[in-house]
Amino acid sequence: MQALAAVLFRMAYMEGYDKETRTCYFDDINPETEQIVNKGKVDITFYSPRFHPEIIEALQDEIGCIRGASLEAYLLYNDLLVQNEDCKYYYRDTFEKNVKWDSKIGRRNTLLTHLSVIEYIQGNAKFSAIMNRFQRGRGVAPITLGSISSITGGIIDK
């Protein structure tokens, strides 16, 4: 559980992510005639996590499948969820509120909330304390950075 907490923490801060660019090809189709009216391509740049294979294999052996999915698939799914959170707050703040985006919300708070659940499972936090964090955090309950060392068993130290 401590190694999983360390992986989630690294994901929160996008440690071990690679920047990639891929070319995607597309066809614009006229919906009335169903004929192709334009062909094109666009380069998409994105960041993707690179998990250390030995760590994922060891965690997979320890944890097993999660609802029928491998641990790596579960982590990639969660990465997509937090990318969505980042987009939601980025576009809301930048275009609706016309303020600079605060990168601490979205990805970081969501994954640090996962660590609160691990902290509870480890017996290091009371259920009421976690629920209080959720109430104050408006739906998220991120851990304090001071507790990361104990949650990860010293894998990550402040």
Predicted confidence (pLDDT) per residue in 73-98, tens digit: 999 999 999 999 888 888 887 877 77
Give the number of C-alpha atoms closer than 13 A to the C-alpha of residue 73, restricted to the C-beta side.
Answer: 7
Task: Give dist(CA 7, CA 4) in Å, integer.
Answer: 5
pTM (2 decimals)? 0.81
Task: Give dist(CA 156, CA 12) in Å, integer.
Answer: 13
Task: Give dist(CA 140, CA 136) in Å, integer.
Answer: 8
Task: Give dist(CA 133, CA 109) in Å, integer.
Answer: 11
Kindly report the length of the chain. 158
- Taking residues 116-122, what's their average pLDDT? 94
